């Protein structure tokens, strides 16, 4: 008796497709979730916030100070809403969340610029959301470097361009990895696939058990591997629909540059989708009912979103979190997709991230097949 | 290998779930083409026993063969040649009748699948409902679908677990006509039921209670396996009479059937003595042939005394 037969495998595949077709709500959700998440992460959650409320505490009213403040006002990032006179006042503004930044211009600002002494501007930032402050602070540096071009004539022209005439001191924890839509949208692919693929297959076998169809399936000669692979294949097709939706949105809505080879993205996505589906099927064999299966799926989904480098820069996490993150397929998939799309990485560059995905797939699949009981014992 | 004429030939089959022995050393021989009725109270181990025959459960003890394959080691082979109809409808409610049949036919790799599906639809009168979702069918039609599905791969043995529960009398009769037709064609059928009229339509019977096989054989043999005597009484004020009869020596069962009472017991002399004592002129007493139900209830009571 052969271990695997195509006809039994195909029977499962067709059955799953028909059931998917009948369950329109679930199918709509699988298409709707990527779109909804794209809107949320792409538009609503702006990792490059602008027009942040800012207070100025200017101890110097000289021409350079005024030029600098005007330049800040003209930038998109700072919305100069307040003027503070004392240190207590600035502290209170920040504490109450009235402003995101306080920019302190020292008393001898203009004089020291003229002397070429690079006066220090202190930026106090509300760092409760580091992702929000980062881009604005970077913008401040740029503003300082270019604002005085006009005001530095003649012999002072040596201060132009070469080095910023102003130094910055920060009272904020700044994360060096810059999060933008370019980064978020490709990363979203891994998150959406993890969420929908794991949940949908986590239900696959528990549903059969709850509806009583499992007893029938077990009474037939169908093998565990045939059931597993047969249940996975239809959802690979769904996964590809999601990948395509996200790629289209990334390109045409968010204008994400696509430097690399899209065929390579699809090839790697196959591996990643299969890995997530195997996890789902494995949960499915462990869970007693559908509710448990969904809970397990979310248990897997949370670290996949938090520790994979999607939400927070991977290198900014503590070592143990990085270690956990490295075990998750999403971590590797994010790097691969970002690498291909943004940096134009080829097969050679992504190879170090491929084998962890493969390993994960094999392990998850093995546990799933082993856990699938062929009898009711 | 067992003798070729035995389709099921098992001895000492035992299954425990934790400390509870659900099936206790049951042996059973079923010949080819036989309709074998499996009776017993709820929770007596009938379903567990059937699941062990078709490879869904592994017996903890016992040996034997099903269709010539070892029930302990050749479960995969057994599954290919057995049609098993579960107690609860277990086909896909979100698939149509045709899709369900097609799925099962693919799983068993039925040759010339399209014809086989169509043939099975025609034979069970499902043809003009083939595009209806299984979940929308009534109990009787679900049962037809289940039967069609477990026959589609032309099994040699049919295991039916309470197939007619919740099915109306006409559908039940048609179902049994179908079963007899199949048996006449050489199919062996093991069927569990709670209906006595169905039990009487089986070639042979077995009675299981508390995991033990209490009696088995043809209807005649079973009826004579335990002597049981039944009297009927009719007349006025039967309810107080029934109350007085219960607990009297020799009286094991007092059952009301409309306007008469059935009074049964295994000790004929004691029973007759009690009746003589309680006899009144306004009641008419008559001895009748005991029914299968009287026998089984008596068996169950005895079994409870012995094992429970």
Structural contact between residues A110 and A68, judged by C-beta atoms closer than 8 angstroms = no
- Look at residue B307 in the predicted model and tell me its pLDDT: 64
How large is the average pLDDT for residues A168-190? 59
Residue-wise DSSP of A215-269? HHHHHSS--HHHHHHHHHHHHHHHHHHHHHHHHHHHHHTS-----S-HHHHHHHH
pLDDT digits (tens, 9 = 90+) for B144-173: 999 999 999 999 999 999 998 888 899 899
A339-368 residues touching B, CB cutoff 8 A: none
Contacts of A18 in chain B (CB under 8 A): 94-95, 99
Q: What are phi and psi of A114, to 5 degrees?
A: -60, -35
For residue A43, with 0-12 CB atoms within 10 Å meaning exposed, 13-18 middle and 19 or more buried, which class applies?
Answer: exposed
d(CA B36, CA B159): 10
**Nearest Cα to Cα of residue B8 among B89, B86, B62, B85:** B62
Give the side-chain half-sphere CA count within 13 A for A366: 6
| CB-CB under 8 Å, B104 with A220 | yes
Name the band, by pLDDT with cuts 50, 70 and 90, for residue B308: low
Q: Tell me what the pLDDT averaged over chain A comes to.
A: 80
How large is the average pLDDT for residues A236-263? 87
Residue-wise DSSP of B145-166? HHHHHHHTT--SEEEEESTTTT
d(CA B100, CA B91): 7
Counting one residue from chain A and one from chain B, the pairs whose CB atoms sit within 8 A come to: 78
Closest chain B C-alpha to A196 CA, distance in angstroms: 21
Minimum mean pLDDT range among A25-29, A146-150, B24-28? A146-150
pLDDT digits (tens, 9 = 90+) for B223-249: 888 888 999 999 888 889 999 999 888
For residue A40, with 0-12 CB atoms within 10 Å meaning exposed, 13-18 middle and 19 or more buried, which class applies?
Answer: exposed
How large is the average pLDDT for residues B212-220? 91
Closest chain B C-alpha to A295 CA, distance in angstroms: 25
Q: What are phi and psi of A250, to 5 degrees?
A: -60, -40
- Look at residue B36 in the predicted model and tell me its pLDDT: 96
Domain boundaries, chain B: 6-223, 229-289
Structural contact between residues A218 and B95, judged by C-beta atoms closer than 8 angstroms = no
| CB-CB under 8 Å, A212 with B88 | yes
Answer yes or no: is pLDDT of A155 > 80: no
Q: Give yes or no for B82 touching A (CB within 8 A).
A: yes
d(CA B123, CA B114): 14
Answer yes or no: is pLDDT of A225 > 80: yes
CA B163, distance to chain mean position in Å, is 9
Minimum mean pLDDT range among A59-63, A93-97, A216-220? A93-97
- Look at residue A46 in the predicted model and tell me its pLDDT: 55
The residue of B56, B103, B107, B161 whose CB has the most chain A CBs within 10 angstroms, and thus the best one to mutate to test that interface, is: B107
pLDDT digits (tens, 9 = 90+) for B61-87: 999 999 999 999 999 999 999 999 998
| CB-CB under 8 Å, A219 with B79 | yes
- What domains can be seen in chain A, in order of their start residue? 6-45+180-371 (no CATH), 52-171 (3.40.1710.10)
Query: pTM for this one?
Result: 0.75
More confident residue, A331 or B303: A331
d(CA B82, CA B156): 6
Nearest chain A residue to B89 by CA distance is A212
A105-134 residues touching B, CB cutoff 8 A: none
Say which residue the tokens 């022995």 belong to. B21
**Nearest Cα to Cα of residue B6 among B33, B40, B26, B30:** B30
Closest chain A C-alpha to B52 CA, distance in angstroms: 10
How large is the average pLDDT for residues A9-35? 84
Closest chain B C-alpha to A96 CA, distance in angstroms: 57
Minimum mean pLDDT range among A40-44, A195-199, A288-292? A40-44
Answer yes or no: is pLDDT of A336 > 70: yes
B119-178 residues touching A, CB cutoff 8 A: 133
| CB-CB under 8 Å, A376 with B56 | yes
Residue A172 Ramachandran class (φ > 0 left, ψ -120 to 50 alpha, else beta): beta
Q: Which residues on neighbouring strands pair with residue B65, listed in sequence order?
A: B9, B70
Minimal Cβ distance to B51: which of A11, A374, A376? A376
The CATH code belonging to domain B229-289 is 3.30.70
How large is the average pLDDT for residues A320-338? 89
A192-221 residues touching B, CB cutoff 8 A: 211-216, 218-221
d(CA A332, CA A342): 15
Nearest chain A residue to B93 by CA distance is A211
Q: Give yes or no for A7 touching B (CB within 8 A).
A: yes
| CB-CB under 8 Å, B82 with A7 | no
How large is the average pLDDT for residues A87-98? 73
Q: Give yes or no for B49 touching A (CB within 8 A).
A: no
Answer yes or no: is pLDDT of A174 > 50: no
Structural contact between residues B182 and B16, judged by C-beta atoms closer than 8 angstroms = no
- Look at residue B103 in the predicted model and tell me its pLDDT: 95
Q: Give yes or no for A373 touching B (CB within 8 A).
A: no
| CB-CB under 8 Å, B56 with A375 | yes
Q: 3-state DSSP call for residue B212? A: strand
Closest chain B C-alpha to A4 CA, distance in angstroms: 12
Answer yes or no: is pLDDT of A172 > 50: no
Name the band, by pLDDT with cuts 50, 70 and 90, for residue A176: very low
Name the band, by pLDDT with cuts 50, 70 and 90, for residue B95: very high
- Look at residue A92 in the predicted model and tell me its pLDDT: 74
Alpha carbon dihedral A177, A181, A184, A189, in 10-degree steps, equals -150
How large is the average pLDDT for residues B197-217? 91
- pLDDT above 90 coverage of chain A, percent: 14
- Look at residue A130 in the predicted model and tell me its pLDDT: 54
Residue-wise DSSP of A157-191? GGGSSSS-SSEEEEES---SSPP-HHHHHHHHHHH
Closest chain A C-alpha to B153 CA, distance in angstroms: 10
Q: Give yes or no for A155 touching B (CB within 8 A).
A: no
Kind and range of the H or E run holding A199: helix A181-211
Q: How many CB atoms lie within 10 A of CB B115?
A: 11
Model ipTM over 0.90: no
Among A13-17, A20-24, A314-318, the range of highest mean pLDDT:
A13-17
Q: Which fold has domain B6-223?
A: Rossmann fold (3.40.50)
Q: Which two tokens stand for residue A130?
A: 């580091």
d(CA A278, CA A362): 9
């Amino acid at each position: 008796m052969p271990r695997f037969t195509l006809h039994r495998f195909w029977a499962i595949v067709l059955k799953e497709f028909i059931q998917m077709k009948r369950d329109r709500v679930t199918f709509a959700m699988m298409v709707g979730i990527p779109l909804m998440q794209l809107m949320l992460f792409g538009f609503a959650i702006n990792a490059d916030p602008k027009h942040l409320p800012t207070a100025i505490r200017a101890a110097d009213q000289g021409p350079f100070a005024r030029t600098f403040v005007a330049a800040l006002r003209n930038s998109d990032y700072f919305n100069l809403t307040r003027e503070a006179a004392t240190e207590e006042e600035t502290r209170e503004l920040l504490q109450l969340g009235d402003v995101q930044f306080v920019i302190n211009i020292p008393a001898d600002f203009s004089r020291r610029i003229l002397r070429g002494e690079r006066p220090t501007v202190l930026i106090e930032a509300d760092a409760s959301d580091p992702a929000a402050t980062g881009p604005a602070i970077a913008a401040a540096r740029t503003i300082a470097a270019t604002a005085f071009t006009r005001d530095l004539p003649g012999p002072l022209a040596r201060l132009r361009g070469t080095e910023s005439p102003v130094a910055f001191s920060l009272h904020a924890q700044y994360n060096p990895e810059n999060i933008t839509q370019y980064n978020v949208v490709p990363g979203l692919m891994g998150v959406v696939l993890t969420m929908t693929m794991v949940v949908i297959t986590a239900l696959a076998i528990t549903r059969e058990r709850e509806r009583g169809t499992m007893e029938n399936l077990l009474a037939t000669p169908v093998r565990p591997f045939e059931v597993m692979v047969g249940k996975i294949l239809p959802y690979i097709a769904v996964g590809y629909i999601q990948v395509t939706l996200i790629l289209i949105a990334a390109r045409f809505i968010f204008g994400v540059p696509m430097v690399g080879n899209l065929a390579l993205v699809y090839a790697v996505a196959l591996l990643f989708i299969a890995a997530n589906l195997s996890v789902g099927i494995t949960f499915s064999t462990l869970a007693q009912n559908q509710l448990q299966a969904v809970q397990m799926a979310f248990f897997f989904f949370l670290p996949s979103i938090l520790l994979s480098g999607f939400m927070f820069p991977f290198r900014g996490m503590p070592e143990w979190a990085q270690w956990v993150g490295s075990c998750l397929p999403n971590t590797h998939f994010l790097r691969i997709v970002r690498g291909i799309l943004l940096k134009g990485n080829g097969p050679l560059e992504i190879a170090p991230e491929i084998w962890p995905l493969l390993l994960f797939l094999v392990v998850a699949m093995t546990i799933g097949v082993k856990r699938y009981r062929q009898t009711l014992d | 290998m067992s003798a070729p004429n035995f389709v099921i030939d098992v001895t000492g089959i035992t299954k425990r779930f934790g400390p509870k022995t659900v099936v206790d050393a049951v042996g059973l021989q079923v010949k080819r083409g036989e309709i074998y009725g499996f009776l017993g109270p709820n929770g007596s181990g009938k379903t567990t026993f059937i699941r062990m025959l078709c490879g869904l459960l592994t017996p903890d003890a016992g040996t034997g063969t099903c269709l010539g394959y070892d029930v302990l080691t050749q479960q995969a082979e057994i599954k290919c040649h057995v049609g098993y109809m579960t107690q609860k409808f277990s086909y896909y409610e979100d698939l149509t009748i045709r899709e369900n049949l097609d799925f099962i036919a693919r799983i068993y790799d039925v040759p010339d699948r399209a014809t086989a599906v169509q043939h099975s639809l025609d034979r069970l009168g499902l043809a003009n409902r083939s595009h209806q979702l299984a979940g929308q069918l009534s109990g009787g039609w679900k049962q037809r679908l289940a039967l069609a599905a477990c026959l589609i791969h032309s099994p040699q043995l049919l295991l039916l677990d309470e197939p007619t529960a919740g099915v109306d009398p006409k559908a039940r009769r048609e179902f049994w006509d179908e079963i007899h037709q199949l048996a006449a064609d050489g199919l062996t059928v093991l069927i569990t039921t709670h209906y006595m009229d169905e039990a009487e339509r089986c070639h042979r019977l077995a009675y299981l209670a508390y995991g033990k096989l209490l009696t088995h054989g043809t209807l005649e043999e079973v009826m004579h396996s335990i002597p049981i005597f039944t009297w009927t009484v009719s007349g006025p004020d039967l309810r107080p009479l029934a109350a007085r009869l219960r607990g009297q020596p020799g009286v094991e069962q007092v059952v009301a059937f409309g306007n008469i009472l059935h009074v049964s017991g295994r000790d004929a002399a004691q029973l007759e003595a009690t009746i003589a004592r309680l006899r009144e002129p306004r009641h008419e007493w008559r001895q009748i042939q005991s029914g299968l139900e009287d026998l089984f209830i008596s068996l169950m009571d005895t079994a409870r005394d012995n094992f429970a």
